[in-house]
Amino acid sequence: MARFVNVAAGQLGPVARSETRTEVVARLMALMRQAHANGCDLIVYPELALTTFFPRWYMEDQAEIDSFFEHEMPGPQTRALFDLARELGIGFCLGYAELAVENGETHRHNTSILVDKRGKTISRYRKVHLPGHAEHEPWRRFQHLEKRYFEPGSGFVVADAFNGAIGMAICNDRRWPETYRVMGLQGVEMVLIGYNTPVHNPPAPDHDDLSLFHNRLVMQSGAYQNGTWVVGVAKAGIEEGVDQIGGSCIVAPSGEIVAACTTKGDEIALARCDLDLCNSYKRTTFNFDVHRQPHAYGLIVERRGQHMMADGTPVPSGKSGRGL
């Protein structure tokens, strides 16, 4: 029996620094209602969807920084979104800044969660590939201080959800082939990616005209090379003076874009995703068990404290270091 998931890419336009959580959640709920009216099982929201993209500012006051973080999820201002999901019977993926206290220690992450049709969180992902810088760089027109405000996550997890194998990634993760391959090796069938990407790249302004092309390039290649659907969803438009690329789209396992947003505002793009279409690629061109030859790559990884080759065999005598 075919496994179809009707998906909405829930793009957001700019979120002002003065906008409250309640106001933003109302926008998310409006998009959720549109997705439900179009028969969707799942809506995917952008990275750091609940606030403006605050790493563009250098801040030293920890209380000011923490005002952008969620101390619990759902919390008083976000519970309405979970309640609506349960009422409508639709799942969602939401990106936000997470403040977590674990074993008495406070940690801050750039996080996404996957929520099922009952309004229950079934998977959490913390961004691994943090871009930008950690200290104030006054020469920039705007900052990109993710390395200052967040800790990196520790891995990519694929969850059984929506009758398939669903993974998550966030923004800069999408640029790295390891992101898709680690999930591809777990049999992923759909990768959900929220992002906030400025048009202007201060260290490499010659890339600016290519920003939208590069955005699609990495998601399309990641989809094709791992036989998976990819749903990429932006916060778009001119936010606090910074132009963001938009370009939200849904990519098939063939690498083809099958749906895309056409504005830089609040909008949904829709696709009926056949998860069984992944098998056409996973069992032929990208059948890892038959065609992939990791022993020939010369890569060395550390697994459970022991150095191993990428295919899981012990490191040969005389080799050391890590390559992934």
Of the candidates 70, 93, 127, 261, the residue annotated as catalytic is 127
Q: Which residues contact 232 (CB under 8 A, 6 or more apart)?
A: 9, 174, 193, 194, 195, 215, 219, 247, 248, 249, 250, 251
Nearest CA-CA partner of 195 in 20, 27, 10? 10
Dihedral sign computed on CA atoms, order 214, 218, 220, 221: positive
In the 8-state DSSP scheme, what is residue 314? B
Residue 172 near residue 145 (C-beta atoms within 8 A):
no
For the chain, the 3-state helix, strand and coil shares in percent, each to the nearest 5, are 25, 30, 45
Active site residue 47: yes
Active site residue 127: yes
Q: What is the CA radius of gyration of the chain?
A: 20
Residue 225 near residue 200 (C-beta atoms within 8 A):
no
User: What per-residue string of b and e applies to 268-306 under the rule 16 or more CB within 10 Å gives b?
Assistant: bbbbebbbebbeebbeeebeeeeebeeeeeeebbeeeee
Of the candidates 40, 93, 171, 261, the residue annotated as catalytic is 171
| Cis amide linkage into residue 74, ω under 30° from 0 | yes
Angular region, 8: left φ>0, alpha ψ -120 to 50, beta rest: beta
Catalytic residue annotation: 47, 127, 171
